[in-house]
Chains A and B, each alone.
Chain A
Amino acid sequence: MTGTVRHPPQRRSATAPLELAELLRVEPLASADAVHVPDPGRLVHQVVLAETFERLGRTGPHALVVLHAEAATGGWSLAAGLHATWERNAAAVVVPRPAMSASSVILAQRLGIALLVIDADPVDTSLALAGQVSAPQAARALRVALCAERLADQTSIRGVLGVLNAELAPAPVALIVGRSVTAGRAAALQERPEHRQVRIEVNGAGGRPWAELVARVPGTTAAAAGHVESLLGLARLPLLAAWAQARLQTSTQAVQERAAFQLLRRLAGDPDSDALPRSRVEPHDVAAPSWASDLGWRVEGTNRAVWIGSAHGAETEPAPELTELVRSAWQRERPDWPIIADADGWVSWQNISADALGSDDPGDDIDDDDTGGADTDGATAMRRVISAVGKVARRHGLVLGIGGAHAGIPGLMRSVEQARLAAHVARDGGPGTVQWFDGVGARATLAWLPRGQIAAVAELSLPDLVAARDRVSLVDTVLTVLDCGGSLSQASTRLGVHRNTVLARVARAKELGLVVDDPNRRLAMHVLCYALATLWKAP
């Protein structure tokens, strides 16, 4: 794949010819009936009011031909007019409605010539059009003004991108935050021959780059690229306003996002939900709801979830302040990744498809520590994020779990569960620990043991052991012996103590009730030791 060549923003001459599509957006042609428009990007060099076929015969290329009088008598005249203008490579034919007929539509399609039907007077129309074509900057200014009005009406990022895409069609426009398409049409990022990209940075508060608007403009309309740039520029403020408005009430937003995430989970047919049967939904069965992109969430394609939880295993919801802290820390690193409070932690995810798209950029230096270059599963990007937030996690007593990469919304929910499991395991490592689900395996089961309750049971059934001063080393030793399948020598090596010490501790533990050589009680003892060990080890 070749990299995108970033074109320096060109200052195009304001007098570059107008495109047909531009004329169609302002009156008088805005209210014309565009019966057939094969190429909206056709340049219009001049306007010809053809009253006679003789005049039609003298028309130069790229003309917008308005038929009138003799040339618009109906019947054959439009057929002949279409043919004559086709021969002369005109940009479009404008015809008064009385001269229109059904067969002319078919002919326009056959000849591939644009055909517009007007109800207004053809002379007035052509005068207005001639004014626009001879002063393209004025026509563009009018169009820009109209567009600015529409942009100002938008209250959401999606709305702003909608206006831009409608206005610049067929050129696609996308809003990129970080490396992912947050809104608009991802096609804007795809390379196409004879097309060029127009990019405009959108700076957030404090002048820091927040996002980028990208439009892919057909090369043939290079002259209009500058115009595209000014329209994109116009969209900056409405975008920022929409963004700011969206972030104004963080707590409101947090609640909103949380609810939205629950909704998404329900959509995926997650077992938490009772709205759908528990059968597993196929990964691609669920279409991304439109509100997801309103929230800036990217869920299509492959996602990898991150679970952030308390290292101390809090069973309750985290405090709102903590949520705020986590959010701000997270958004500093990856503003394009969502961060949502969910049960006893926070969830975020990496949209690998979007990231992969963004990392086409050669200026983006990839840590090829283990992927050998291409970061196809997004693991590298994830590592970079994790290492950046690791400090914050340690400071706030948090651990991180990372799920597998799975497709679609159901896949995302699966990844969330995996990440949460991994985070539970990570608690064993203390604050700042990061655990990948891929590296957890069956041990994940243990993370879910109700250690507090097991300890309570131990207090009743093994009161002597619990009361013993050397209980931690005793439990540790017995656990290690059991872990090593009863081998004292292996256990001594792992614990770094003499074999006799191990033997002595096992004997003392047995006195206090920890019997390890009774096969009937070995599993219970093993579980008990594991629970007590992890519980007592924690600070």
Chain B
Amino acid sequence: MTSRYVGAVSSVTADDVPALVEGAKFYSPAVGDAGWISMVSWTTELLRRNGPVVLVRPDAVAPQTRAVGLCAIGSGAALADLPPAGDEFALAVREVEHLTRRRAGVVYPLAAATVSALVPLVAAAQLEVPLLDADGMGRTFALIHHTSMHLAGLPIGPLVARGATGESIALSVHAAARADTLLRGGVDSLGGWAALAAYPCTAGQLRTAALPGTVSRLINVGRLLLESGDTEVLIGRLAAVAGCRRIGRGRIVELEHLSRPSDVTIPAHPSSVVIDEVGGHGRLMRLELRSEIVAVFADGALAAAAPDLICLIDVLRGELATLDSLEPGALVDVLVMPADAVWYSAEGLAMVGPASHGIPLDHPRRR
């Protein structure tokens, strides 16, 4: 198989879905596969049925084109158990259009990772609009205002969450941070997940407010992941493409739950994974987990932390180890990859840095 690099203007076909899925998993390595099955086959079939979706960079469309951000909010496990009926995403966009009284010319991923990377593709296919090759996170963060749009001062609302139950919630808020708070209970009542349409704005605004190229990147990284079964080769290639490096390899020796007090604002309780490094310095590595791996301590020294993207590779299987599949005794590689530069600014770190997960230490990349 040869890699076809996806350029700035292109389209996404049904054949690109497997690579997109692999890339989307890689940029949010915590979430298990279960939720993907229905979404992937649905997306593939939609693209076959409705034809390829145009993938376009924000600067390649007219600046006044209206754009709506899309993602799946809530738990992947809930989405797996209660798959979408099929109209949630398109209807969420329609409801935002109704609230803003403007028709959306393009849709874009609020977070180009996890199933949230497929969601705007589905909506674009259903609504027959192009998909912007840009997103608001470059990965996933826990809260919906952890976006580059929010950092750029764009309003989060009006926003709409639509559940598989057929119900929807429309919100308008004064402060972006309120949106998550208000939405959280509603999403739980909708079955644990919902289709979210938010950040209605123009393509011109997104030229500076969104992180460009993050959708095509998923497809390119995904192709690498699909081609390689060998961990060493894989890590080498990912280092070249995504700036990823290995912190260490070791065996999981301990899983601790509720290992520190949790606050109510961020979903998923804190837990820890202790890894005994095999070879190297024989360090004791401690991974702090929330919905993602938010920090790695090597012998107590902070080696990597959010917004770095930290993931585990199951060495036996040569693939990502999702957080719900970790077992004591498993041999894993700890990989770290830098997030978009915007997240290492003072504002970015304040929002998504280690302190936002209750780890008030200087970020290793800022020291």
Contacts and interface: CB of A to CB of B under 8 A. Distances in A.
Interface of A: 52-54, 70, 73-77, 79-84, 86, 101-103, 106-107, 110-111
Given A75-B260, A101-B259, A80 B274 contact: no
A277 B297 CA distance: 65
Contacts of A107: 284, 299-300
B26 to A, nearest CB: 24
Nearest to B281: A110
Contact of A73 (B274, B302, B358): B358
Interface string B254-272: 1010011100000000101
A103 B254 contact: yes
A82 B259 contact: no
Contacts of B260: 73-77
A74 to B, nearest CB: 4
B88 interface: no
A3 to B, nearest CB: 45
B284 A106 contact: yes
Given A103-B274, A110-B284, A74 B259 contact: yes
A76 B295 contact: yes
B286 A74 contact: no
A9 B360 CA distance: 51
B229 to A, nearest CB: 32
B288 interface: yes
Nearest to B283: A110
Interface of B: 253-254, 256, 259-261, 270, 272, 274, 283-284, 286, 288, 295, 297, 299-302, 358-361
Given A75-B270, A101-B259, A103-B284, A52 B360 contact: yes
A127 to B, nearest CB: 24
Given A77-B260, A80-B302, A83-B297, A102 B270 contact: no
B272 A102 contact: no
Instruction: Kindly list the 8 A-B residue pairs having the minimum CB-CB distance in the complex, ordered from nearest.
Output: A83-B300, A75-B259, A75-B260, A79-B300, A74-B260, A103-B274, A73-B260, A82-B300
Contacts of B300: 79-84, 86, 107, 111
Contacts of B253: 103
Contacts of A106: 284
28 contacts: A53-B360, A54-B360, A73-B260, A73-B261, A75-B260, A75-B272, A75-B286, A75-B288, A76-B259, A76-B260, A76-B272, A76-B295, A79-B299, A80-B359, A80-B361, A83-B297, A84-B300, A86-B300, A101-B256, A101-B259, A101-B272, A102-B254, A103-B256, A103-B274, A103-B284, A106-B284, A107-B299, A110-B283
A84 B259 CA distance: 20
A76 B295 CA distance: 9
Nearest to B357: A76
Contacts of B283: 110
Contact of A74 (B261, B295, B297, B301): B261
A110 B274 contact: no
Nearest to A106: B284
Contact of A110 (B261, B295, B299): B299
Contacts of B302: 80
Given A75-B272, A75-B288, A111 B259 contact: no
A88 to B, nearest CB: 12
Contacts of B254: 102-103
> Chain A interface mostly helix, strand, loop or mixed?
helix
Contacts of B299: 79, 83, 107, 110-111
Contacts, number: 66
Contacts of A73: 260-261, 358
A98 to B, nearest CB: 9
Nearest to B288: A76
A168 B148 CA distance: 62
B69 to A, nearest CB: 33
A499 B286 CA distance: 107
A76 B359 contact: yes
B347 to A, nearest CB: 20
Contacts of A84: 300
A52 B270 CA distance: 19
A74 B272 CA distance: 10
Given A75-B270, A111-B300, 18 more contacts: A52-B360, A73-B261, A76-B260, A79-B286, A79-B297, A80-B300, A80-B359, A80-B361, A83-B299, A83-B300, A83-B301, A86-B300, A101-B259, A103-B253, A103-B274, A103-B286, A106-B284, A107-B299
A70 B286 CA distance: 18
A110 B297 CA distance: 14
| Residue in B254, B283, B299 with the greatest tally of chain A CB atoms within 10 Å | B299
Contacts of A77: 260, 359
Contacts of A101: 256, 259, 272
Contact of B361 (A53, A75, A82, A111): A53
B360 A75 contact: no
Contacts of B301: 80, 83
Nearest to A101: B256
| Residue in A53, A84, A101, A103 with the greatest tally of chain B CB atoms within 10 Å | A103
B297 A80 contact: yes
Nearest to B276: A106
Contacts of B295: 76
Contacts of A102: 254
Contacts of A75: 256, 259-260, 270, 272, 286, 288
Nearest to A86: B300
Contacts of B297: 76, 79-80, 83
A57 to B, nearest CB: 9
Nearest to A107: B284
Nearest to A108: B300
Contacts of B361: 53, 80
B303 to A, nearest CB: 10
Contacts of B288: 75-76
A502 B260 CA distance: 111
Contacts of B359: 76-77, 80
Nearest to A78: B300
A533 B172 CA distance: 132
A532 to B, nearest CB: 87
Nearest to A73: B260
B283 to A, nearest CB: 8
A107 B360 CA distance: 20
A174 to B, nearest CB: 41
Contacts of B274: 103
B293 to A, nearest CB: 11
Nearest to A103: B274
| Residue in B256, B284, B300 with the greatest tally of chain A CB atoms within 10 Å | B300
Contacts of A79: 284, 286, 297, 299-300
A84 B302 CA distance: 10
Contacts of A103: 253-254, 256, 274, 284, 286
B221 to A, nearest CB: 29
A73 B301 CA distance: 16
Contacts of A111: 299-300
Nearest to A72: B260
Contacts of B256: 75, 101, 103
A357 to B, nearest CB: 43
Contact of B286 (A52, A54, A76, A86): A76
A35 to B, nearest CB: 15
A75 B359 CA distance: 10
A77 B357 CA distance: 12
A53 B259 CA distance: 18
A56 B355 CA distance: 16
| Residue in A73, A86, A102 with the greatest tally of chain B CB atoms within 10 Å | A73
